[in-house]
Amino acid sequence: MLYLIGLGLADEKDISVRGLEIVKRASRVYLEAYTAILLVEKHVLESFYGREVILADREMVESNSEAILKSAEKEDVAFLVVGDPCSATTHTDLLLRARHATPAIPTRVLPNTSIMTAIGCTGLQLYNFGQTVSMVFFTDNWKPTSIYDRIKENVAHGFHTLVLLDIKVKEASEENMARGRPWIFEPPRFMSSALCAEQLLYVEGERKEGICGPDNLAVAVARVGSEEEKIVAGTLEELSTVDLGKPLHSLVLIGKKGHEMEMEYVRDFAIDKAKFEVIWKRDYGKS
């Protein structure tokens, strides 16, 4: 059987009790390490599990999955995913392939928390979130503003918007690609909440429709679910200057339909509580 096992968000102890049992007895264990990262290194996981873990990069999963699926119809193979296994297309694709293999490979998914639910730690109600969006690293030549239209759809209904921040793991630089050396990888890059806020302000400057401007309220989070979790609320202007430290960061644009109780909870995280409350009372909380 192929098990897709969610590891949760922080460290080796966020795996479920059942997940750990399976990891210990499986023939092979893979760790998917390109859609997100755990806050601990692979060797810490191996030490805790008492066994070796094979790193699976995007190429292996998307173009070479036979290695992962080999013998899974008669052995247990565990495929570990940071966060939750069903949050990204790359994983459902693997399940589809297992399902349609000959012979068919039985599969089971052990869900775990994802940033998409753990973001409730901000006090913002999950029911009030619209679609989730992704912010990519801008380059000199490429500053896509399509994210603005997605956020705008949420804003039209007063919903919160969870912004997932770009991570680049094992990517070749543009220069090395151009020089025909795609195997030279850049060091991993994880977008900070401050850079995300900056890029949102840039896009607002281009589009000017009052969607994500300097006075819009937002919440930045880092290392959610861990002991070093950090939550900071404020205007996008303020958040573009705050350093939340080590990865992983996310950001939520607060929706205008926000409730009084959400505000009460979030305000405690504000850089400037008085200012936060003034802006809220002025622009937010319209049901």
Residues annotated within the binding site for S-adenosyl-L-methionine are 9, 84, 114-115, 165, 224, 249
State yes or no: residue 89 binds a second copy (CB under 8 A).
yes
Q: Please name the residues in contact with 174: beta carbons below 8 A apart, sequence gap of 6 or more.
A: 139
Residue 158 to residue 144: CA distance in whole angstroms: 24
Q: How far is the CB of 244 from a second copy (least distance, A)?
A: 18
Distance CA 165, CA 7 (A): 19
Residue 8, Cβ density class (10 Å: 0-12 exposed, 13-18 middle, ≥19 buried): buried
User: How far is Cα 151 from Cα 148, in angstroms, rounded to an integer?
Assistant: 5
Tell me how crowded residue 194 is: count the other CB atoms within 10 A of its CB: 19
- Looking at residues 253 to 272 of the shown chain, list those that interact with a second copy (rule: CB under 8 A): 261, 264-265, 268
Residue 250 as a binder of a second copy (CB under 8 A): the answer is no
User: Applying CB under 8 A, does 90 fall inside the site for a second copy?
Assistant: no
Q: Cβ 123 to a second copy, closest distance in Å?
A: 5
Cβ partners under 8 Å of residue 215, min gap 6: 235, 236, 237, 279, 283
Distance CA 244, CA 8 (A): 20
Contact with a second copy (CB under 8 A) among 112, 161, 199, 240: 112
Binding-site member from 2, 5, 29, 110 for a second copy (CB under 8 A): 110
| Binding of a second copy by 52 (CB under 8 A) | no
Q: According to the binding rule CB under 8 A, does residue 93 interact with a second copy?
A: yes
Site for a second copy in 133-172 (CB under 8 A): 133-134, 153, 157, 159
Q: Tell me how far, at minimum, the Cβ of 194 lies from a second copy, in Å.
A: 24
In whole angstroms, what is the distance from residue 202 CA to residue 148 CA?
11
Of 77 and 124, nearer to a second copy (C-beta) is 124
Q: Are 67 and 21 in contact (CB under 8 A)?
A: no
Residues at the site binding a second copy, with contacts judged by CB under 8 A = 6, 8-9, 12-18, 20-21, 84-87, 89, 92-93, 95-96, 99, 108-114, 116-121, 123, 125-134, 153, 157, 159, 224-225, 227, 261, 264-265, 268
